[in-house]
Amino acid sequence: MTSQTTRTSVLSAGVAALVLSAVTWIQLVPGGRAIAQSGRKNVPETANAMELSNVFRHVSKQAMPAVVSIATTGKIIHETIDRRNPFGDEELFRRFFGDSPQFREYLDQGPMERRRRLPGGNGSGFIISADGVIMTNSHVVRDAEEVVVRLSDGREFTATDIRTDDDSDVAIVRITVDEQLPFLQLGDDAVMEIGDWVLAFGSPFGLHRTVTQGIISAKSRGLQRSQLTQEFLQTDAAINPGNSGGPLVNLQGQVIGINTAISTASGGYDGVGFAIPVTAARWVADQLVESGSVQRAYLGIRMQQIDATLAEHLNLAVPQGILVTDVIADSPAEKGGFQVGDVLISVNGKTITNYRYLIGLVERLQAGQTYTVRVLRNEEEVKLSIAVAVKPDDLAALPLRTNAPVESDETARFNELGLTTQNVTSELAEQLRTTAAGVVITSVRSDSGAEKAGLEPGMLISRVGNINITNVEDLERAAQAMADSEKVLMLVRIASGDGSMISRFVAVPINTGQ
């Protein structure tokens, strides 16, 4: 949630709609909380297009009492300000204020402490339990000193408990009430199909009790410029700033998603909104209610989505599955036998279509339990038994399974690849801030296959075809083995801004006759 509209390609806004339907039975969840799981009651059937508005009217009337508006006041934080460089440009600061003795004395006093209140904002949410438990987005209530919930009837309550999970952007807010509140039924997003009608509820631009209609435009969608790795429902129901945390509802009056973001060039509704699938949100919410935090499982691999080019080189009929680029040392994946270059095709009997689906599937597995994983290795199917573990907080910092660098600084030129390379010695590995063995690219010939594939000096080559590369002799052997090929699949490692190495497979054309 933001206090002002910002024009970005992905703008947090929220698109979920919830529906209240008469409760026919109740499912108890950890902590004794009851969540509505009722079937629909007296929902009109749609015989033709003229009757569709009757369904919209009925669902809206049932859902509205459980949809809330949320307003927050930001926390006060303490900051240390450099008097000499408060704006990031000391020279500009001096030109603006001059260079008087009083000003120099002010600068010599050293760092300055100040208090600053973070901006508040507005969003939406929906009641999921009659005793005052509300589901919303984490970004709506994150860093809030006070959260005020406005009910459909206009009454306002200050939240007594706020629990957030930034990895999923799901939050639980609790208010204390003396009566039983209307609450919404949580449905099943898996049964929704592209083209199904949905209603989005919330408070766009602070407009309380707003409903818009649209369809499910896509499923399993990812937000490319977001740190959220999960899959989203895409809808064309109008979503705007302030809708964040509201419910997305189907025509049976069931919540199937939480409004979370929009893709926009204008800062407002452009017809593309995103909602967190309710299945994932419910899994997070149950843990937040029970323990206040979310425990996730992990495998311990780094991966790359298989595109059409990679599928061709891997002899896959369609670009589906995940290519393993790294195996984390001492992880469930290493203990279970994963290898770099494996194509992961299924986990626990579920076919893997993309890496977002894989992350969502694995994190909801039971830590400590063993699951069957199928991979393709050198085009042969291999079954692995993996005992998944609890995901560490510092997963990105864990070491990879690597070979030690060599001590020879031997170099070699590979005309067929358009590269000049050098062994990664211990000294060079320290400069590159890596523990990985391999060869480093020292030059790339202009207009070569390597240049066309995007290879650059400073990249490490760790694998060519099925051959692991630890020195230039390995690369020479791999190049000879690929002499009759038009392209070679190469695993390269690239230094990122934080000093870590990012691994990816690239298809490099072989320059014959050069």
Catalytic residues: 139, 169, 244
Q: Are 363 and 296 in contact (CB under 8 A)?
A: yes
Pairing relationship of beta strands 232-235 and 121-129 according to DSSP bridges? unpaired
Q: 28: how many CB neighbours lie within 10 A of its CB? A: 9
Q: Are 469 and 419 in contact (CB under 8 A)?
A: no
Q: Pick from 23, 228, 17: which is nearest to 129 by CA? A: 23
| b/e map 152-177, b = 16+ CB within 10 Å | beeeebebeebbbbebbbbbbbbbee
Q: Is 367 helix (H, G, I), strand (E, B) or coil?
A: coil
Phi, psi angle pair for 456, to nearest 5°:
-140, 155
Residue 505 to residue 490: CA distance in whole angstroms: 5
DSSP output for 455-483: --TTPEEEEETTEE-SSHHHHHHHHHHTT
Taking the mean position of all CA atoms in its chain, how far away is CA 486? 36
Q: What is the DSSP letter of 352?
A: P
Taking the mean position of all CA atoms in its chain, how far away is CA 309? 25
Phi, psi angle pair for 496, to nearest 5°:
-95, 180
DSSP-H helix ranges across 342-414: 355-363
Q: What is the DSSP letter of 404?
A: P
DSSP output for 70-124: EEEEEPEEEEEE-TT-TTS-HHHHHHHH---HHHHHHHTT--EEEEEEPP-EEEE
Q: Cα Rg for the chain, rounded, in angstroms?
A: 27
Give residue 325's identity as a one-letter amino acid code.
T
